[in-house]
């Protein structure tokens, strides 16, 4: 279990232990090799899938895939009930990048001084280690190998820590609580966390209200109305509160800065985003006394999805505010926007190849065994008319996959030219290609961002926007 001792990181920062330090005349200038967890094609709600987390699965089959897939994972942790509104502002732990084994992480802006602390694993818990404080001149390059951690700072000083160190915390010694990474300023305190692959995750621990402006600024277009921004801020805050509670004591981060969770650009000067977060401070969506996970996507196409079954299997998420797919289709929503409808053409062999890869990675032997696809038909639709599962006809028989699973498999290659915008589509086969005709952009659960903007453009306030997209919920101020 990973403890959350870095919630009180300033108090810990002074306790830092360094195993080896020596001088060096030339600092390394090799650029870091790292990647953000999820690329976003452009700013605004037309990114691939805002707030589209990896599907929660609590009943995934555990058999290994015979066709060479990975070994079956251990049983997942039990689903966590939704939390009550927190009494005080929480911190959120955001994974902003993962660094490959042997690659370097370049941290800090020139002229900044970085205070480094370490933590070791003791009885499956991350425990801070006391010792003398140590400071590096930024930018500093950190590396991790089988023998341990090393760092070289801008002054040419080298430092090393042994292999039993689980993570390093990196804090700006003076000035604002923020650290630069990959040319972007990230508010909060940074942690470099060893992961089983031998690489490291880059994680920022940041207060919720400091985190949110960079989410809202990334998720929406800057020209959109303030009421859309306020609705987005409350939805994003609610989602983050649920994820913070869900992953506490389970892993070393709560959310990802990308489409697996919600987009985040770090520090922002966007005035509308800052105002929206400031004027909705502490406000969350509540249903029956519990915080609603504020799912949202770019455009629902008029046919919303129900969160449970589309993007989560958590039974505690089967609540009215995010079950709008169980009701009628929406009108006067996003029908007039540029993302209301779309088409795509992808070679059928490429779709089958991506499905096989998805099946091997997700312990679906039937999907991993697909050699070719001869027909595709809807297997189930929800009350709003949105397809929620497809039947794939193959030479070996029919295979049923969830609509969002199909979209995830197709889009896993991160190739915009051969991806689909949503799972609400009809699919036909012609001359070796799959022809898609779809509606909307994203998973369709919760708030429709383009629909929210259409409401705000017509003069509707943020309270009414949230009431439409999260019915049976109310807004409550959890902290001030």
Tell me the backbone φ, ψ of residue 458, rounded to 5 degrees. -85, 5
End-to-end CA distance of the chain: 31
What pLDDT was estimated at residue 70?
61
Structure confidence at residue 14 as a pLDDT band (50, 70, 90): very low
Q: Does the pLDDT value for residue 40 go beyond 80?
A: no
List the beta strands (DSSP E) in 224-374: 255-256, 283-287, 290-291, 296-297, 341-347
The pLDDT value recorded for residue 53 is 41
More confident residue, 470 or 182: 470
Q: What is the pLDDT, as a whole number, of residue 37?
A: 36
What is the residue-averaged pLDDT of the chain?
A: 87
CB 262 within 8 A of CB 51: yes
Q: Which residue has the tokens 């899938």?
A: 49
What whole-number distance in Å separates Cα of residue 295 and Cα of residue 51? 6
Phi/psi region, residue 146 (left: phi>0; alpha: psi -120 to 50; beta: rest), is alpha
Instruction: Tell which residue, 108, 106, 111, has the closest CA to residue 180.
Output: 108
* % of the chain at pLDDT higher than 70: 82
Q: Is the model's pLDDT at 214 over the cut of 70?
A: yes
A 10 A CB-CB count for 341 gives: 16
- pLDDT band (50, 70, 90) for residue 69: low
pLDDT confidence tier of residue 52, bands split at 50, 70 and 90: very low
* Structure confidence at residue 436 as a pLDDT band (50, 70, 90): very high
Q: Please give the pLDDT value at position 11.
A: 35
Q: Quick one: pLDDT band at residue 61, thresholds 50, 70, 90?
A: very low
Please give the average per-residue pLDDT across 362-380, as a whole number.
97
CA distances 454 to 232, 337, 359, Å, are 14, 9, 39
pLDDT of 311-335, one tens digit each? 999 999 999 999 999 999 999 999 9
**What pLDDT score was predicted for residue 471?**
98
Cβ neighbours of 173 (radius 10 Å):
14
pLDDT tier for residue 71 given thresholds of 50, 70 and 90? low
Q: What is the arithmetic mean of pLDDT over 181-192?
A: 95
**pLDDT confidence of residue 50:** 40
The residue that leads in pLDDT, 352 or 62, is 352
Q: Which of 283, 265, 262 is nearest to 222 (CA)?
A: 265
Q: Which of 67-71, 123-127, 457-461 has the lowest mean pLDDT?
A: 67-71
Record the tokens describing residue 127, joined without a space. 């425990």
C-alpha closest to that of 442 among 328, 310, 324: 310
Is the pLDDT at 49 greater than 70? The verdict is: no
* pLDDT of 63 strictly over 80: no
pLDDT digit string, tens, across residues 100-156: 999 999 999 999 999 999 988 665 666 666 555 689 999 999 999 999 999 999 999
Is the pLDDT at 353 greater than 80? The verdict is yes
Residue 56 CA, chain-centre distance (Å), reads 13
3 vs 1: CA distance, rounded Å: 6
Mean pLDDT confidence for 353-374: 96
pLDDT in tens, 385-424: 999 999 999 999 999 999 999 999 999 999 999 999 999 9
Is 50 exceeded by the pLDDT of residue 303? yes
Label residue 119 exposed, middle or buried (CB < 10 Å: 0-12, 13-18, 19+).
buried
């Amino acid at each position: 279990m990973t403890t959350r001792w870095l919630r009180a990181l300033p108090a810990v920062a002074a306790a830092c232990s360094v195993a080896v330090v020596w001088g060096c005349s030339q600092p390394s200038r090799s650029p870091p090799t790292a990647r953000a967890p999820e690329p976003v094609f452009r700013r605004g709600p037309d990114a691939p899938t805002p707030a589209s987390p990896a599907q929660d699965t609590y009943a995934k089959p555990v058999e290994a895939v015979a066709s060479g897939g990975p070994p079956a994972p251990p049983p997942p942790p039990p689903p966590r009930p939704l939390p009550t509104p927190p009494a005080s502002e929480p911190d959120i732990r955001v994974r902003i990048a993962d660094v490959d084994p042997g690659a370097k992480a370049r941290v800090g802006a020139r002229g900044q001084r970085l205070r480094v602390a370490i933590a070791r694993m003791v009885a499956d818990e991350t425990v801070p280690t006391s010792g003398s404080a140590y400071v590096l001149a930024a930018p500093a390059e950190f590396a991790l190998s089988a023998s341990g951690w090393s760092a070289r700072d801008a002054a040419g000083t080298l430092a090393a820590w042994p292999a039993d160190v689980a993570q390093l915390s990196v804090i700006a010694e003076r000035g604002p609580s923020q650290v630069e990474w990959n040319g972007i300023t990230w508010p909060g305190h940074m942690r470099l966390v060893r992961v089983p692959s031998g690489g490291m995750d880059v994680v920022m621990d940041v207060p919720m209200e400091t985190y949110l402006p960079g989410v809202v600024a990334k998720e929406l277009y800057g020209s959109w109305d303030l009421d859309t921004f306020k609705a987005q801020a409350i939805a994003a805050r609610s989602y983050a509160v649920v994820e913070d509670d869900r992953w506490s004591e389970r892993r070393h981060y709560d959310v990802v800065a990308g489409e697996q969770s919600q987009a985040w650009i770090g520090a922002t000067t966007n005035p509308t985003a800052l105002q929206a977060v400031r004027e909705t401070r502490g406000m969350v969506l509540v249903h029956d006394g519990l915080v609603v996970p504020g799912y949202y996507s770019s455009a629902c196409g008029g046919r919303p999805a129900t969160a449970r079954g589309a993007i989560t299997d958590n039974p505690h998420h089967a609540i009215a505010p995010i079950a709008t797919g169980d009701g009628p289709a929406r009108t006067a929503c996003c029908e007039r926007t540029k993302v209301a409808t779309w088409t795509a053409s992808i070679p059928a062999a490429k779709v089958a190849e991506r499905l096989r890869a998805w099946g091997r990675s997700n312990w679906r032997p039937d999907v991993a065994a697909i050699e070719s696809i001869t027909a595709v038909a809807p297997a189930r639709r929800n009350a709003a008319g949105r397809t929620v599962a497809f039947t794939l006809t193959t030479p070996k028989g029919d295979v049923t996959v969830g609509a969002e699973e199909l979209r995830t498999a197709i889009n896993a290659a991160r190739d915009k030219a051969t991806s689909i915008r949503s799972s609400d589509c009809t699919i036909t086969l012609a001359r070796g290609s799959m022809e898609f005709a779809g509606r909307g952009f994203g998973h369709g659960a919760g708030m429709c961002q383009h629909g929210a903007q259409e409401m705000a453009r017509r003069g509707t306030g943020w309270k009414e926007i949230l009431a439409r997209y999260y019915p049976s919920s109310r807004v409550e101020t959890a902290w001030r």
